[in-house]
């Protein structure tokens, strides 16, 4: 696709640090001396990195993390190998993620070919194509024009979305997710965050069969939800259902620990429990209360605070706001429970209609939306370090499988899916928002100099979305601090940027 390649190389010409040198002074010239970031997942660590880029080497950046660095990027160990238990795939057009990997000297993990099937609870309905999830020509016969329409729709959305890298390279920031989306795709993008994916697809002329057999299984594996999910997040994950996916050798979470080091940030292993404003004359700073090893501490005088952890009720962030007036409104919405079960054992291929495992040709099985199906997907997985001689285990051998399901698998369910097994490791995630159409997008600025990153997940939840939000918040914090209103929420940026060049 030459057009893609050109777009990509054009973008890479714009150095991401271009903007750093524009000088930095608040009206009185003072730079912030302390910044706190709460959460050391991809969003928080990328924010720390970009804050360092923009605010320079002097500012103290403290990153608070109550659990593991990496957040929802995590691994489990089976038989001396590590496997991704959380966010696992990255798209080739995810430019921030690519840039991180390059800057950190990490390596791309080789992908090991394997076929995917779709199972309807009874039989495999789709098979024998060599797609990751979608392969344009292989499925033509079954779905006809639906496929092409979908492909074009997703490409158009991606192309518009890619504008963000240019805007960010030129230093432009947005004060809300709505402003950001509108600058990329106008009211059409906002609309897509509010209407069901299925409506958009039906309007496009995509057939119901295609929606049931392909789109629904992809939404189930990616978001543990159905095709009523908003069109925007649906499109984001369909872009990820094409080829050109990659992952990081050694585990995706290495990006997070790498970014923390690169940012020269202080990691505090602590649960932040409270945030309150401290007024001194004109200026407002923040005091953070936190606990480590059961002891309560507080740390005062942060000039800027970025919350990079889900704050929605039930997301269990543990953070409380005190002393804000007006009080900060609680954020509506909830996060979706998803269980990742990593099983070392023998797949029960009979369950999928293949009594002889040697004849089972698939590495992963997605499922249609069927009430009796207790799992969303089951896939043979490769370790995060792949040696040169690695080959995927055959279905008649004991292998490592990852099963996604809405609830923990019962013993009976495990015995249905696996003939026998050596080990089972379960990770329960609050994985992504529980999307329901018609919901607004959470704010980015909760209070002057107090920012919230994870609102972006309500438009689309992916590593790259968090990285885009991280860059945006670092730019926004910088411009707000330095009162550069002409760099925030600017209209008609495509035109502005052309004339700037």
Q: Which helix (H) or strand (E) holds 337?
A: strand 335-347
Please select the residue that binds ligand NAG; options are 151, 194, 276, 425, rule is CB under 6 A. Answer: 194
270 Cβ neighbours under 8 A, 6+ residues apart:
64, 65, 66, 290, 291, 292, 297
Please select the residue that binds ligand NAG; options are 292, 298, 350, 410, rule is CB under 6 A. Answer: 350
Chain centre distance of CA 234: 13
Nearer to ligand NAG, 56 or 355 (CB): 355
List, in sequence order, every residue forming a beta bridge with 339; answer none if it has no partner: 405, 428
Is 413 a binder of ligand NAG (CB under 6 A)?
no
Candidates 40-48, 151-159, 222-230, 336-344; binding stretch for ligand NAG (CB under 6 A)? 222-230
DSSP of 416-458, one letter per residue? HHEEEEEEEEEEEEEEEE---TT--PPPSEEETTEEE-GGGGG
Q: Which residue's CB atom is positioned nearest to ligand NAG?
A: 250
Q: Which helix (H) or strand (E) holds 60?
A: strand 60-65
Is 107 a binder of ligand NAG (CB under 6 A)?
yes
Environment class of residue 393 by beta-carbon count within 10 Å: exposed (0-12), middle (13-18) or buried (19+)? middle
Candidates 59-67, 126-134, 347-355, 463-471; binding stretch for ligand NAG (CB under 6 A)? 347-355
Q: Interface residues for ligand NAG in 243-282 (CB under 6 A)?
A: 249-250
Is 60 a binder of ligand NAG (CB under 6 A)?
no
Candidates 115-123, 133-141, 189-197, 282-290; binding stretch for ligand NAG (CB under 6 A)? 189-197
Query: Per-residue contact track with ligand NAG, 126 to 165, x per CB under 6 A?
Result: ----------------------------------------
Of 231, 227, 229, the C-alpha closest to 213 is: 227
- In the complex, least distance from residue 296 CB atom to ligand NAG, rounded to whole angstroms: 36
In whole angstroms, what is the distance from residue 351 CA to residue 121 CA? 9
Nearer to ligand NAG, 348 or 364 (CB): 348
Neighbours of 475 (CB within 10 A): 25
Neighbours of 334 (CB within 10 A): 15
Is 31 a binder of ligand NAG (CB under 6 A)?
no
Is 351 a binder of ligand NAG (CB under 6 A)?
yes
Is 496 a binder of ligand NAG (CB under 6 A)?
no
Q: Do 226 and 234 contact (CB within 8 A), yes or no? A: no
Please select the residue that binds ligand NAG; options are 33, 266, 296, 385, rule is CB under 6 A. Answer: 385
For binding to ligand NAG (CB under 6 A), which residues are involved? 107, 191, 194-195, 198, 226-228, 249-250, 348, 350-351, 385, 415-416, 419
């Amino acid at each position: 696709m030459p057009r893609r390649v050109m777009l990509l190389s054009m973008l890479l010409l714009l150095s991401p640090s271009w903007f750093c040198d524009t000088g930095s002074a608040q009206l009185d010239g003072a730079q912030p001396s302390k910044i706190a970031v709460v959460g050391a997942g991809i969003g928080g660590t990328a924010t720390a990195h970009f804050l360092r880029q923009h605010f320079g080497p002097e500012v103290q950046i403290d990153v608070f993390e109550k659990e593991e660095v990496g957040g929802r990027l995590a691994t489990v160990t089976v038989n001396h190998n590590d496997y991704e238990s959380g966010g696992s795939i990255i798209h080739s057009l995810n430019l921030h993620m690519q840039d991180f990997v390059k800057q950190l000297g990490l390596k791309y993990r080789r992908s090991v070919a394997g076929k995917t099937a779709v199972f309807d609870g009874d039989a495999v309905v789709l098979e024998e194509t060599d797609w990751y999830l979608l392969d344009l020509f292989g499925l033509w016969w079954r779905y006809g024009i639906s496929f092409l329409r979908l492909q074009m729709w997703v490409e158009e959305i991606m192309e518009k979305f890619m504008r963000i890298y240019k805007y960010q390279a030129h230093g432009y920031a947005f004060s809300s997710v709505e402003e950001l989306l509108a600058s990329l795709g106008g009211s059409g993008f906002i609309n897509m965050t509010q209407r069901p994916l299925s409506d958009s697809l039906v309007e496009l002329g995509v057939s119901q069969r295609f929606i049931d057999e392909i789109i629904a299984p992809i939404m189930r594996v990616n978001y543990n939800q159905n095709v009523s999910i908003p069109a925007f997040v649906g499109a984001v994950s369909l872009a990820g259902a094409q080829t050109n996916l990659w992952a990081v050798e050694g585990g995706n979470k290495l990006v997070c620990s790498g970014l923390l080091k690169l940012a020269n940030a202080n990691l505090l292993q602590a649960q932040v429990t409270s945030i309150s404003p401290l007024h001194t004359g004109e200026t407002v700073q923040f005091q953070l209360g936190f606990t480590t090893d059961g002891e309560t501490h507080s740390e005062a005088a942060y000039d800027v605070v970025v919350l990079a952890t889900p704050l929605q009720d039930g997301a269990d962030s543990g953070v409380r706001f005190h002393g804000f007036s007006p009080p900060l409104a609680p954020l509506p919405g909830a996060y979706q429970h998803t269980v990742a079960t990593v099983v070392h054992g023998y797949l029960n291929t009979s369950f999928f209609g293949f009594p002889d495992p040697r004849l089972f040709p698939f590495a992963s099985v997605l499922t249609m939306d069927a009430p009796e199906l207790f799992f969303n997907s089951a896939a043979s997985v490769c370790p995060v370090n792949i040696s040169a001689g690695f080959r995927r285990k055959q279905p008649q051998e004991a292998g490592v499988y990852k099963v996604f399901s809405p609830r923990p698998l019962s013993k009976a369910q495990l015995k249905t899916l696996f003939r026998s097994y050596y080990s089972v490791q379960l990770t329960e995630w609050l994985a992504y928002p529980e999307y329901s159409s018609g919901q607004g997008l959470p704010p980015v600025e909760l209070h002057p100099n107090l920012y919230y990153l994870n609102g972006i997940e309500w438009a689309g939840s992916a590593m790259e979305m968090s990285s885009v939000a991280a860059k945006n918040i670092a730019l926004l914090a910088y411009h707000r601090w330095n009162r550069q209103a002409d760099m925030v929420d600017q209209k008609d940026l495509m035109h502005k940027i052309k004339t700037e060049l």
